[in-house]
Amino acid sequence: MSKKGLRRKEIKAARDLKRVMSDYYYRMDRISRGEEEGKIAWCTSVGPAELLRAFGFEVHYPENHSAILGATRVAMDCIPLANAIGYSPEICSYLTSDVGSYLKGETPLSRLYPGIESPPKPDLLAYNTNQCRDVQEWFEFYGREFDVPVVGINTPRALVEVREVDIASVVGQLKAMIPTLEEVSGEKFDIDRFKESLRLSRRCSELWGEVLGLAKHLPSPWTFFDGTIHMGPAVCLRGTQEAIDYYEILKPELKERIESGVAAVDGERFRLYWEGMPIWGKLRDLSEQFSELWACVVVSTYCNSWIFSAFDEKKPFESMAQAYTEIFINRAERVKEAYIEKMVREYQVDGIIFHDSKTCPNNSNARYGMPQRLEKRLGLPCLVIDADLNDLRCYSEEQTRTNIEAFVEQLAQTKP
Amino acid sequence: MGEGYFVGLDSGATTTKAVIIDAAKGILGSFVKKTGADLEGSATEAFEEALKRAGLLRGEIESIAATGFGRKSVPFAQERVTEISCHSRGCYHYFPEEITVIDIGGQDNKIIRLDEEGRRVGFKINRKCAAGTGAFLEEMAHRLDIPLDDLDGLARRSNNAAEIGSYCTVFTATEVLDRIRRGEKVEEIVKGLFVSVVKRVLEMGALSGRVIMTGGVVAFNPIVAELLKLRSGKEVEIAPHPQEMGAFGAALFALERAQTRAVQRGGSL
């Protein structure tokens, strides 16, 4: 395969995205400095954001900050500081990057949003272990540092089915948070406000799902690498009108690309599924490599993880418990496998790349034989690459590049 | 069959190999040299030495394919193909059936499975570290103060192999020195090091069909193939010119792609 010239195709909506995320961070910064009324809650990425918004909290996501640390490649300067105070290099590198950045007293938010000196200070921290255990320890650290309440949900994990007993447990824990949320926010729980928050969140997640679904088109109008950037509002602003407004700008632009025959990867030959976390510090390099190989990563577990179909304002607590418990990352192997298989068919995927993140076992699904089973059952080549979400010390660039190139050579055997 | 000469250059992390073939796929000349830090310089030198041995001039070469770690650092190559494809292609030339190719190189191991048509069914490159590669053996030879070339002969003097516990090169070095301190025989330890290499290979994936080994490690230490046969219960063979197999496969790609281009132009070589 010979090298082809790369043409970077800008998504125009990126300008609106920049504005939306900028407004969001500046608003939190003003609140944090006391220049504006409000309270800040820190929340995990699939934590009870809608409930927090129902109390008027503005919501900061440390995982988003960590992704920025990774994408701007400053995570490596931060992680060792967390290691030095006892947070092992073997644990979540989002946690060690973020804690390291706090210890250092520096944040890339300062460069992205001049005037912002640090992430917004929390008045409260709320986690859900539906994604992993590390988030609990991460938030406990800040609870101690800032001397603020930490509330959490410990979700039953690795479920085959989401049972009534699981929903009941999570509902109970959600309701148990309310007294603390009332005390910190200074507001009484308002069920209508909560329902509205859920309604907005569901609409955002429907739109995000529709945007992602456009990649089913051959050729795809965008790639997974675009998705990791444009998912910002779905993660950080769900439950708000701003997130909905943003996807109502992005969706028509991508539809227009389809109508005009504009492909994200010119001459798209190979359609791939990315399983696992992004390698934040290498998004552009990987995006370019795939493009050079005529390969488009059209679908991923990661971007699909912010589609919450179960939200139902008629059953606010139960549906929220359902939505946050039934997520991919919280399911048994066989459920995950069936989901990937479904996506492979819907997106007409030619091969699956499993990213095994050294420090993120919960998002690394090549550890219990899944690639081998899928290869056998679907007759679809699978590749496992070893890297990490933020800790590039775990990343062998040359081996990964060769692995990807060899994988595409293999796909070319059956799709010349 | 037409004329023309074709070159495969395998720019590996440890050694650079050049192989020149004719249109009948016969090898006319080859050369191996240490890569060092100058990838392009080493590739040029290996190429020129192979030309001398083949009795050819540069201008007589129809096409050059580069492979290996440094394949993008060979500016005079027309084609670039990964070493996974080149080792596969080269081995299938000699063994046109369902095979598993195991390449143990200076810095990585590969297991590649081909079906009976020579199509790649799967492959795996070693995870993350140099344990079980040439780099591991080099480090151990250095620690034991034994010339690398003597390891195979030394291991053959022992019936038993020490079971080395670690899979980390650094930890293994400590373990080896500890065993010597306790009076264990060097021959047994060295054989144990080769068993370690075999264990790393077996951990990587299942072996199916005929097992063919390539790469510099097995070229100079054929005991590795014997130990793999013992530990896997499979028939294991060493390919012809195992160290140059990647370069040979690359030369075959150079030939085949040149033939394809000629056909597309409506001619032949």
pLDDT the model gives residue A2: 42
d(CA B161, CA B182): 16
What digits encode the pLDDT tens for the residues A378-387? 999 999 999 9
Identify the DSSP state of B51: H
Contacts of A386 in chain B (CB under 8 A): 127-128
- Within a domain: A212: yes
pLDDT value of position A1? 41
Q: What is the nearest CA distance from A2 to chain B, expressed in angstroms? A: 8
Q: Which residues of A383-415 are buried (b: 16+ CB within 10 A; e: fewer)?
A: bbbbbbbbbbebbbeebbbbbbbbbbbbbbeee
Count how many domains chain A has.
Answer: 1
ipTM, two decimals, is: 0.85
Q: Which of B39, B120, B260, B264 to mutate to probe the A interface, most A CBs <10 Å?
A: B120
Q: Residues B12, B105: contact at Cβ < 8 Å?
A: yes
Q: Is residue A1 part of a domain?
A: no
Closest CA of chain A from B84, distance in Å:
6
The alpha-carbon gap from A217 to the nearest alpha carbon of chain B, in Å, equals: 28
Residues of B with CB under 8 A from a CB of A: 69, 81-85, 108, 119-120, 122-125, 127-128
All structural domains of chain B, each given as residue ranges with its CATH number in brackets, are 1-95+244-269 (3.30.420.40), 98-238 (3.30.420.40)
Chain B residue with Cα closest to A411:
B120
Per-residue pLDDT 10s for chain B (269 aa) are 457 999 999 999 899 999 999 999 999 999 999 999 999 999 999 999 999 999 999 999 999 999 999 999 999 999 999 999 999 999 999 999 999 999 999 888 999 999 999 999 999 998 667 778 899 999 999 988 999 999 999 999 999 999 887 778 888 888 998 999 999 999 999 999 999 999 989 988 889 889 999 999 999 999 999 999 999 999 999 999 999 999 999 999 999 999 999 888 886 55
Report yes or no on A6 lying in a domain.
no
A132 is in which domain, residue-wise? Answer: 14-414
Contacts with A123 (C-beta within 8 Å, 6 or more apart), sequence order: A39, A40, A41, A57, A148, A184, A185
- Give how far B80 is from chain A: nearest CA, Å: 8
In a domain, A8, yes or no: no
Query: What is B124-165 written as a DSSP string?
Result: EE--SS-TTSHHHHHHHHHHHT--GGGHHHHHHT-S------
Give the pLDDT confidence score for residue A265 in this predicted structure.
96
Please, which residues 345-384 of chain A have a Cβ atom closer than 8 Å to chain B? 375, 381, 384
> For chains A and B, what is the number of CB pairs under 8 angstroms?
33
Of A375, A386, A413, the CB nearest to B127: A386
Record: contact B120-A398, CB cut-off 8 A = no
From A411's Cα to the closest Cα of chain B, the distance in A is 9
In a domain, A261, yes or no: yes
Q: What confidence tens digit (pLDDT) does each residue in B8-61 have? A: 999 998 999 999 999 999 999 999 999 999 999 999 999 999 999 999 999 999
Q: Is residue A2 part of a domain?
A: no
DSSP B168: S
Does A7 fall in a domain?
A: no
Let me know if residue A130 belongs to a domain: yes
Contact yes or no for B83 and A375 at CB 8 A: no
Residues in chain B with CB shorter than 8 Å from the CB of A413 are 119-120
DSSP annotation of B58:
G
pLDDT of residue B128: 62
Helices (H), B151-233: 151-156, 169-181, 186-204, 216-220, 223-232
Q: What is residue B1's predicted lDDT score, i.e. its pLDDT? A: 42
Q: What is the structure's pLDDT at A326?
A: 98
Number of H helices and E strands in chain B, helices first, is 9, 10
A292 and chain B in contact, CB less than 8 A: no
Nearest to A406 among B69, B84, B127 (CB): B84
Mean pLDDT by 10 residues, chain A (416 residues): 60 97 98 97 98 98 98 96 96 98 98 98 98 98 98 98 98 98 98 98 97 98 97 97 98 98 96 98 96 97 95 97 98 98 98 98 97 95 96 90 96 86
